[in-house]
Amino acid sequence: MILKGGRVIDPASGTDAVLDILLEKDQAVKSGANLSPQFPDETVLDCRGLWILPGLVDIHTHLREPGYEYKETIATGTRAAAAGGITTLACMANTLPVNDTPAVTRYILEKAEQEGIVEVLPIGAATHGLASERLSDIGLMKEAGIVALSDDGVSVGDAGILRIVMEYARRFNLPLIEHCEDPATAKGGVVDEGETGTRMGLRGIPCVSESVIVARDILMARWLGAPIHIAHVSCRASLDLIRWGKDQGVAVTCEATPHHLALTVGDLFQSDYDTRFKVNPPLREEADRQALLAALKEGVIDCIATDHAPHDIQSKMVEFDDAANGISGLETALPLALSAGREAGLTPLETVSRLTVHPARVLNIDRGRLLNGGLSRLVVFNPDEPWEVDPAHFFSRGKNTPFAGKTLRGRVKMTLFDGRRVFVDAANPWGLKPVPDKKA
C-alpha cells in the first residue's frame, strides 16, 4: 500500500514533512518523495491534505473486562481505540476480579489476542484488591506481561506499603502510575471545591486532596530513586510540585486528560448538573485549566492520556451525588488533544509526541514511532474536517461523553494496525480515494 502526499508527523524521528509512505508486505515502513507502486495490485491512496501519524499510545484506559462487560469489553474497547487512532493501550487493573494475579493478566492478554484489534498491555494492581494492605503478585504478573503498576481509582493509601511498592517497581523495572487522591479530604466529594463548585451546593474535592499525595509520592520517589508517573493531573499546585520534582532530578512524569484540558467546573455548572461531566479528579476552575495548558507547552506534562472510563446508562442516569465518575474518551481524544495543543501554542509535532513517544517512554516500550524501523501502525487524519460527536455511533459501549452534540475539528479517517485496516471512517471515507492511473 502507498499513502501518497500526506503530511507525515513522526515525533520520534523529528519528521514533519509531506512524504509518500510505502507499507511493504513484511510491514516495513518506507518513506520518500514520489514513490510509485512496485506491483500492479498495490493500493495507492491519495492522502493530500491529510496527516499521517504513528498509531497513538494511550497509557490510561479502562477496558472493564473482566467483570464489567456491560460497560465495555476488550472487543468493543479496542474497536473504539482504533476509531480514535490508538493502536496501543495500557488498561487499568480495577476490573472484577482486580488484575492483581498472573491469572487475570493472562486472561486479559488471551482475550485481547482473540477479540481485540489493537495492542492491549495490562497494568497490574500495585496492591492486592487495590486495598493498600499487601502487595499483589508483582513478579509473577511481570512474567505474565504487565507493563506497569497502578491502583488507579484510588491511591496507594499507606505510605509504608507505597515504599515497598516503589522498591518492587524499581527492581522489576515497572513504572508506578498513581491516582493521587487523599481519601480523608476528598471523602464524599463530587465536584471541585472552589467557588463554582460551592455555588452548586455539592460537596467538594479540594485541589489539595490531589496535591498532598503528589507531594508525598515525589518525595518518596526522590528518596528511593524510583520512578513515579502521576495520572490525570488536574490542578496548578500539583503541576508546581511535579515541576519541582523534575528540577530536582526525580524520575517523575505525568499525564493530563483531554477533558481536563478542554473543560472546567464552569462547563459543568452551565450543563445544569449533567452527570456526563462528572469525573475524578473533578473538572477544576479555569485558572487550573490554564496551568495545565502552560505545563503542556513547557513539557511538565509529558503525556496526554484518555482515562477512558465507559459506563452503562444506569450508572449515569441517577442523581449527581450517586452517578459514576468518568468519560468515554477514546473516540474523541485526538481532536481534543490537538485543539488543546493549538490553544497552548504547541506545534502538531509537539502535541503528537505527547500521544505517542512520550507515553511509550514512560512504559519502557518501543512504540509510537513510524519511520526508521517503526511498526506499520499508523493513523490517517483529516486535521480540518468538522464532525459532530454522536455517542450513538461510538464503538465503545460507554456513551457517556460531555462532548455529545459538540462539533470537533479533525477526524480519524483510517487506522492501520500491523498493516491491517482496523478502522476506516465509514461515514465519510473521503480522502481514501485511489490515485488515478496516469496512463488511463
Going by C-beta distance under 8 Å and a sequence separation of 6 or more, which residues neighbour residue 239? Answer: 233, 291, 292, 295, 300, 301
Closer to Zn ion at the Cβ: 46 or 158?
Answer: 158
Minimal distance, residue 69 CB to Zn ion, in Å: 21
Task: Select the residue whose beta carbon is closest to Zn ion and give its number.
Answer: 179
Handedness of CA 82, 87, 91, 97 (dihedral sign): positive
3-state secondary structure of 406: coil
Closer to Zn ion at the Cβ: 261 or 379?
Answer: 261
Residues 355-414 that bind Zn ion (CB under 5 A): none
Catalytic site residue 307?
yes
| 178 sits near Zn ion (criterion: CB under 5 A) | no
Minimal distance, residue 240 CB to Zn ion, in Å: 21
Closest CA to 218 of 242, 237, 182, 247: 242
Minimal distance, residue 232 CB to Zn ion, in Å: 6
Specify the stretch interacting with Zn ion by CB under 5 A; choose among 21-29, 176-184, 259-267, 336-344.
Answer: 176-184
Closer to Zn ion at the Cβ: 153 or 204?
Answer: 153
Specify the stretch interacting with Zn ion by CB under 5 A; choose among 18-26, 150-158, 170-178, 363-371.
Answer: 150-158
| 62 sits near Zn ion (criterion: CB under 5 A) | no
138, containing H or E segment: helix 138-144
Phi, psi angle pair for 191, to nearest 5°: -135, 175
4, containing H or E segment: strand 2-10
Minimal distance, residue 181 CB to Zn ion, in Å: 8
| Spatial separation of the C-alpha atoms in residues 97 and 427, rounded to whole Å | 38
417, containing H or E segment: strand 407-417
Going by C-beta distance under 8 Å and a sequence separation of 6 or more, which residues neighbour residue 155? Answer: 132, 178, 179, 180, 181, 182, 183, 213
| Spatial separation of the C-alpha atoms in residues 203 and 183, rounded to whole Å | 14
Specify the stretch interacting with Zn ion by CB under 5 A; choose among 20-28, 49-57, 149-157, 309-317.
Answer: 149-157
Minimal distance, residue 375 CB to Zn ion, in Å: 29
Interface mask toward Zn ion for 306-345; x: CB under 5 A: ----------------------------------------
Specify the stretch interacting with Zn ion by CB under 5 A; choose among 152-160, 202-210, 242-250, 308-316.
Answer: 152-160
The active-site residue out of 152, 192, 307, 425 is: 307
| Spatial separation of the C-alpha atoms in residues 339 and 247, rounded to whole Å | 28
Minimal distance, residue 309 CB to Zn ion, in Å: 8
User: Which grid coordinates are listed for 263?
Assistant: 473543560
| 260 sits near Zn ion (criterion: CB under 5 A) | no
Burial class (CB in 10 A: 0-12, 13-18, 19+), 439: exposed
Minimal distance, residue 94 CB to Zn ion, in Å: 9
User: Which grid coordinates are listed for 385?
Assistant: 474536517
Contact in structure between 86 and 359 (CB atoms under 8 Å) = no
Going by C-beta distance under 8 Å and a sequence separation of 6 or more, which residues neighbour residue 286? Answer: 264, 266
Specify the stretch interacting with Zn ion by CB under 5 A; choose among 82-90, 101-109, 178-186, 431-439.
Answer: 178-186
Contact in structure between 387 and 411 (CB atoms under 8 Å) = yes
If you write DSSP's letter for every residue of 290-346 in order, what string do you get? Answer: HHHHHHHHHTSS-EE---B----HHHHSS-GGGSPP-B--TTTHHHHHHHHHHHHT-
Minimal distance, residue 44 CB to Zn ion, in Å: 44
Minimal distance, residue 43 CB to Zn ion, in Å: 41
3-state secondary structure of 283: coil
| CA separation, residue 310 to residues 65, 71, 118, 236 (Å) | 11, 6, 18, 27
Closer to Zn ion at the Cβ: 11 or 329?
Answer: 329
Specify the stretch interacting with Zn ion by CB under 5 A; choose among 23-31, 118-126, 171-179, 290-298.
Answer: 171-179
Closer to Zn ion at the Cβ: 142 or 179?
Answer: 179
| 217 sits near Zn ion (criterion: CB under 5 A) | no
Burial class (CB in 10 A: 0-12, 13-18, 19+), 435: middle
| 179 sits near Zn ion (criterion: CB under 5 A) | yes
Closer to Zn ion at the Cβ: 179 or 413?
Answer: 179
Size of the site for Zn ion (CB under 5 A): 2
Closer to Zn ion at the Cβ: 230 or 422?
Answer: 230
Q: Which of 10, 151, 152, 302 binds Zn ion (CB under 5 A)?
A: 152
| 229 sits near Zn ion (criterion: CB under 5 A) | no
Closer to Zn ion at the Cβ: 202 or 327?
Answer: 327
Enumerate binding residues for Zn ion (CB under 5 A): 152, 179
Catalytic residue IDs:
307
